[in-house]
Structure 1
Amino acid sequence: MRTFVSAVATVLGVLLAAVAVPAIWLDRNLVQEDGFVELAAPLGKNPEFQQQLATAAVGTIDTSAVPGFLEDLVQPVLEDAATSLAGLPGYPAAWEETLRKSHRLSFPQAPADPGATGSVSSLTLDVAPLVALGVEEISRATRLPLDPPGETLINVGQPEQREWTERLATYAPMGYMLAAGSGIAFLLALVAARRRWTVLMAAGLGGLALAGLWALGAQIGSARALATDTGNEVANLFRNEFVAAATADFTRWTVAAAIAGGVLVVLGTVAGIASRRRPGATR
């Protein structure tokens, strides 16, 4: 009976861990605002993305209030702003605020900014902070009063993906409870086992198998995400860079799981050899 309970608890622990780890990663890196910003912030340093994003942001600036005879003056300033936007001192802060505003639009548990309008997809960039930075630079250069918009959206995905963000916000935080349940199951397996080294071995092998499955799942998920065309060059570039960053970050988790699994296998092997050398030992 003890062996049966230990086996069932071990299998349950592995199954719970299989869901808990990806759920926790999703919660920390997508659902939570700070995690999303930390993961996506380096994308703003990509020169190609910087240029396309700056061009798109400056291209949305409304110059209708500028008198017609000044258009020839404003146009070169707009082009210069698109080129130099990423080099302005305020760019890092504007990019971070862009990510935060975008996250609040995409995930329902975070309150939307006042005045936010329109439907959004799973990842929608609100580049209003970058536009405001461009407007400030243009106003400084031309001495013309220009009002920055409160919201400037660039969709990164399809509208039906919105429901996936709602599901993530609801279910991803449950990963912590599943992880606790997995730990309790493994503890029960150790307590009930007649040969505890077998639990270590099984847990280690399970960890190695899960690491492989997670890596495969990450590859499949990345391929599916990259196969979705947003119809926007800036959005496509953001998607490509973000998927690459997310895959690389999750890979570190799978490697850590594989290392932990390998350590458990070694410990189980050593404990098993040691138990066989002790006369009358049952554990």
Structure 2
Amino acid sequence: MRTFVSAVAVILGVLLAAVAVPAIWLDRNIVQEDGFVSLASPLGKDEAFQQRLAGAAVGTIDTGAIPEALAGLVQPVLDAAAGSMTRLPGYPAAWEETLRKSHRLSFADPRNLPPEVVSTTSLTLDVAPLVALGTEEISKATGLPLDPPGQTLINIGQSNQRQLIERVSAYAPLGYLLAVGVVIALLLALVVARRRWAVIFNLGVAALLLAGLWTAGSQLAADAVLGAASGNEVADMFKNEFVAAASNSFQEWTLASAIAGGALLVVGLVIRIASPGRRPVTR
């Protein structure tokens, strides 16, 4: 009976862990704003992505307030601003604020979103901080006052992805409760087990299998996201770079699981060798 209970507890713990670990990763790196910014910040250091994003941001600047007599002088200034924006001292802060504003648009309560965001079902990137940075440089170069917009939105991905994000933000935090269940189940398995080395060994095998399962699952998810083109070159570049960063981040978790699994295998074998079993009592 003890062996049966231990086996059921191990199976339950492994099943809960299979869901808990990806859920916790999603909550820490996607749902939580600081985690999202930390994950996506290095994208702003990619030179090709920087230049395209800066060009797209500058291209949205409203130059209607500039007199027609000066209109011919504006385009060279716009081109220069797009080329130099990423070298401006304020660019890192503007890029971080872009990520924070975009995250809030994607994960905020729909009731608190502007109508133009609620009306779309795809994810939204708000590059207004970058536009404001470019507008400031153009104003300095031309001596003309230009008002930056409060929002400059770029849709990312396909329709209905916002609904997916809403589900992720609702269910990802449950991963912590599942993790508590994992700990309880595995402790129960160890307490009631007749052969604790076998429990530890089997947990090592399970950890290795889960690492492989998570790796395959993350690859399938990445391929699905990358296969859905948005039709916007800047949006697709952001998506491609972000998916690569997310895959590398989750890969660190799967690698940690594989290392832990290998360690548990060794520990289980060592315990088995050190305690080969009870010897019969001789009289």
1:149 corresponds to 2:179: no
Q: Distance in 2 between matches of 1:50 and 1:97?
A: 15
Q: In structure 2, the residue corresponding to 1:248 is in which secondary structure?
A: helix
1:84-103, aligned counterparts within 5 Å?
84-103=84-103
The residue number in structure 2 matching 1:24 is: 24
Residues 105 and 117 of structure 2 are in contact (CA less than 8 Å); yes or no, is this contact kept in structure 1? no
**Cα shift at 1:156:** 1.2
The residue number in structure 1 matching 2:180 is: 180
TM-score, structure 2 normalization: 0.95
Q: Which runs of 5+ in 1 are unaligned?
A: none
Moved more, 119-128 or 153-162: 119-128
Q: Distance in 1 between matches of 2:241 and 2:79?
A: 25
What is the identity, as a one-letter code, of the residue corresponding to 1:55?
Answer: G
Distance 1:116 1:110, change over 3 A: closer
Residues 131 and 148 of structure 1 are in contact (CA less than 8 Å); yes or no, is this contact kept in structure 2? yes
**Cα shift at 1:158:** 1.5
Distance 1:280 1:144, change over 3 A: farther
Q: Which runs of 5+ in 2 are unaligned?
A: none
Q: In structure 2, the residue corresponding to 1:57 is in which secondary structure?
A: helix
1:114-193, aligned counterparts within 5 Å?
117-119=116-118, 120-121=120-121, 123-193=123-193
What is the identity, as a one-letter code, of the residue corresponding to 1:104?
Answer: R
Distance 1:83 1:121, change over 3 A: farther
Aligned alpha-carbon RMSD (Å):
1.7
Q: Distance in 2 between matches of 1:111 and 1:51?
A: 34
Q: Could you list the runs of 4 or more consecutive aligned residues of structure 1 that deviate by over 4 angstroms after TM superposition? A: 109-113
The residue number in structure 1 matching 2:275 is: 275
The residue number in structure 2 matching 1:207 is: 207
Residues 98 and 128 of structure 1 are in contact (CA less than 8 Å); yes or no, is this contact kept in structure 2? yes
Q: Distance in 1 between matches of 2:176 and 2:280?
A: 41
Q: In structure 1, the residue corresponding to 2:155 is in which secondary structure?
A: strand
Residues 197 and 269 of structure 1 are in contact (CA less than 8 Å); yes or no, is this contact kept in structure 2? yes
Q: Distance in 2 between matches of 1:157 and 1:253?
A: 26
Residues 103-126 of structure 1 show CA distances to partners (whole Å, capped at 9, x for unaligned) of 00001359957x674335553210
TM-score, structure 1 normalization: 0.95
Residues 121 and 155 of structure 1 are in contact (CA less than 8 Å); yes or no, is this contact kept in structure 2? no
The residue number in structure 1 matching 2:79 is: 79
Residues 104 and 111 of structure 1 are in contact (CA less than 8 Å); yes or no, is this contact kept in structure 2? no
Q: Distance in 1 between matches of 2:212 and 2:243?
A: 19
Aligned residue pair count? 280
Q: Distance in 2 between matches of 1:111 and 1:98?
A: 21
Q: Distance in 2 between matches of 1:254 and 1:165?
A: 23
Residues 117 and 124 of structure 2 are in contact (CA less than 8 Å); yes or no, is this contact kept in structure 1? no
